[in-house]
Amino acid sequence: MLLVDCSNCHTPLQLPPGAPSIRCALCHAVTLVADPRSLPPSSSHSSSFHHHHGHRYPPPPPHAPPGPPPPAHGGKRALICGISYRNTRDELKGCVNDAKCMKFLLINRFKFPESSILVLTEDERDPLRRPTKQNMRMAFHWLVQGCRPGDSLVFHFSGHGSQQRDRDGDEVDGFDETLCPSDFRTQGMIVDDEINATIVRPLPRGVKLHAIIDSCHSGTVLDLPFLCRMDRRGQYIWEDHRPRSGVWKGTSGGEVISFSGCDDNQTSADTSALSQVTSTGAMTYSFIQAIERGHAATYGSMLTAMRSTIRNTGDELEGGLVTSLITMLLTGGNLSTRLRQEPQLTANERFDVYTKPFSL
């Protein structure tokens, strides 16, 4: 399948064989192709990609470009995905609420222009703005397309996450982490390798990306090289998650920091116990609350505040004694060893979490 750039926003689009035109899901522009069969085998954009195990990923840069960073640009752009999997056995209650809350926060607290925020939920009337696998992939490209030094990017996801066996040897625990689009039962999940290749590795110097991932098994879902392992006293060390194979998982000089709902071997709660009003993802709620209550001075204070919020509501998140006993019977586990949700922080570079100011 050929890749062509949108004639308006330059997002790479997958052109079906023989199609004379294609409509961009993001800006709705129609790109005409006179005869797809006459196109050269690699266009200016597709030539910068290579195939790896059947996937199309950008090549890993060997290191950041030398010299001082270019002048700042200062734009803001965000991709927000909230997936409820409505009318399926996978249904969640709070994910679309999470998306609405995150959009409100970015606009009103961090001054993101509404026109620079792309929201994918099942509530969207336009089918091209729904969180299908293809639409999410296109939105990833839109998020980083044309970014310049000084730009601040945000990716927020609220929905199901999972794991699958790692087949290329780049995972310390032997499992790839995944995000589940609305059509994952038929189209498959989006694997962390692809997420890293699409929105992490191409990021140029001077650009910052924050990811807020509210899903199960999401600790290292961006495949970032370093994980901040923090205990309940707030003491931490940076764990090195760089693949033994030497595969590059960093950026092209940019900065990526990710808050995730839980560790790779944990699950995240979808609950009304925190807001007392409506269902939300526990991680999204604790992230927004930490900012609103003034705990967002540094990344360390953010992480400890988020964990405290979830820990203090632990009984409600567990669903009470009856739910706990049912869970124990179904899983063959016991109450003393059940996992609790602990938000995680990962990054492309190590830093002092208690001195680095938090900002979006």
Tens digit of pLDDT for each residue in 142-187? 999 999 999 999 999 999 988 777 766 655 666 788 999 999 999 9
Q: What tokens were used for 207?
A: 């650009």
Report CA 59 to chain centroid distance, whole Å.
20
Distance CA 203, CA 252 (A): 5
Q: Measured between alpha carbons, how far is residue 30 from residues 6, 7, 16, 250 in Å?
A: 8, 7, 14, 34
Q: Are 102 and 284 in contact (CB under 8 A)?
A: yes
Q: Which residue has the tokens 């964990």?
A: 307
- Of 141, 156, 160, 241, which is the active-site residue? 160
State yes or no: is 24 an active-site residue. Answer: no
Q: How confident is the model at residue 270 (pLDDT cuts 50, 70, 90)?
A: very low
pLDDT at 331 over 90: no
Q: How confident is the model at residue 280 (pLDDT cuts 50, 70, 90)?
A: low
Q: Which residue has the higher pLDDT, 211 or 317?
A: 211
Beta strands in 87-202 (DSSP E): 117-121, 152-158, 161-165, 175-179, 190-191
pTM for the full predicted model: 0.73
Picking from 66-70, 249-253, 260-264, which range would have the lowest pLDDT averaged per residue? Answer: 66-70
% pLDDT > 90, the chain? 45
State yes or no: is 228 an active-site residue. Answer: no
Tens digit of pLDDT for each residue in 288-316? 999 999 999 999 999 999 988 888 765 45
pLDDT at 198 over 90: yes
- Of 81, 216, 228, 262, which is the active-site residue? 216
Picking from 2-6, 112-116, 251-255, which range would have the lowest pLDDT averaged per residue? Answer: 2-6
Distance CA 217, CA 279 (A): 20
Distance CA 200, CA 126 (A): 28
The pLDDT score that the predictor gives to residue 244 is 80
Q: Which residue has the higher pLDDT, 123 or 162?
A: 123
DSSP-based three-state secondary structure for 163: strand
Distance CA 285, CA 317 (A): 13
